Amino acid sequence: MKRIFGAKNNKEPPPSIQDASDRINKRGESVEDKVKRLDAELCKYKEQIKRTRPGPAQEAIKARAMRVLKQKKMYEGQRDMLYNQTFNLDQVSFAAEGLKDAQQTMTALKSANKELKGMMKTVKIQDIDNLQDEMMDLMDVSSEIQETLGRSYNVPDDIDEDDLMGELESLEADMGNETEADGVPSYLQPDKEPDLDEELNLPPPPNRDTRPQQGRAQAEDEWGLPAVPRASLRG
Instruction: Classify residue 1: in a domain, yes or no.
Output: no
Tell me the pLDDT tens digit for each residue of 52-67: 888 888 888 888 888 8
Contact 82, 20 (CB under 8 A): no
For 8-40, the pLDDT digits (tens) are 566 777 778 788 888 888 888 888 898 888 888
Q: Residue 215 pLDDT more than 50?
A: no
Tell me what pLDDT residue 2 has: 55
**Predicted confidence (pLDDT) at residue 235 exceeds the cutoff of 50:** no
Decide if 58 is inside a domain.
yes
169 CB neighbour count, 10 Å cutoff = 9
CB 17 within 8 A of CB 97: no
CB 27 within 8 A of CB 82: yes
pLDDT, position 181: 46
84 or 164: which leads in pLDDT: 84
Percentage above 90 pLDDT, the chain: 14
Q: Give the CB-side neighbour count of residue 105, counting CA atoms within 13 A.
A: 6
Kindly state whether residue 41 falls inside one of the protein's structural domains: yes
Q: Flag whether 71 is in a domain.
A: yes
Q: Are 189 and 180 in contact, with CB atoms under 8 Å apart?
A: yes
Q: How many folded domains does the chain comprise? A: 1
Per-residue pLDDT at 227:
67
Tell me whether residue 10 is in a domain.
no
Find the farthest-apart pair of alpha carbons in the chain and give their distance in angstroms, rounded: 167
What's the whole-number mean pLDDT along residues 161-169? 77
Asked whether residue 82 carries a pLDDT value surpassing 80, the answer given is yes
Domain membership of residue 212 (yes or no) is no
User: If you average pLDDT over residues 114-141, what whole number do you get?
Assistant: 89
Q: Is residue 208 part of a domain?
A: no
For residue 219, is pLDDT > 80? no
Most confident residue range from 86-100, 139-153, 201-215: 86-100
Domain assignment of residue 58, given as a range: 17-120
Give a yes or no: residue 111 inside a domain. Answer: yes
Query: What is the DSSP secondary-structure string of 26-68?
Result: HHHHHHHHHHHHHHHHHHHHHHHHHHSPTTHHHHHHHHHHHHH
